[in-house]
Structure 1
């Protein structure tokens, strides 16, 4: 399964190599933006994008980005709950 994580482009780091920093939940990473350039590289600063394995795959709007981040956070919380439940089940089965 491929999963794109929403990130906001906060700065262009290398115009020639088409690299930019994106921020995802407070963490900045350098990604390749070659697939999403429509006009100039500088026009991408402030835009939201779906990031997959270090590449910006497409531009998304801010509402869509925030909804996706919320859904991912909710899934992570659910995953934590399932893991806790599984640990309890194993402890009960061990007795």
Structure 2
């Protein structure tokens, strides 16, 4: 608090004290508002971090799923190639028999 000047009248001193009290209350209220705002920012940052972690896990899961689907497609293609190879061999054998 500021010191009250000696040269002030009693009314002015009371007014000065009231103004100082108001200012002090305003500063306290402002400090509380800043504290609340800082807490909200902190909570939002924590929320965003958690969200990013979850999104990261989702991406990992999606990549795993896509990898598994790719493996299944590859296996299916390998099976189809094997079947085609068997069919070609069989057809070649039949053609050789017809030629002989």
TM over 0.5: no
The one of the two structures with greater contact order (alpha-carbon pairs below 8 A, sep at least 6) is: 1
Higher helix residue share: 2
Band of TM-score, shorter chain = 0.3 to 0.5
Larger radius of gyration: 2
TM-score, length-normalised on structure 1?
Answer: 0.40
Q: TM-score, normalised by structure 2?
A: 0.38
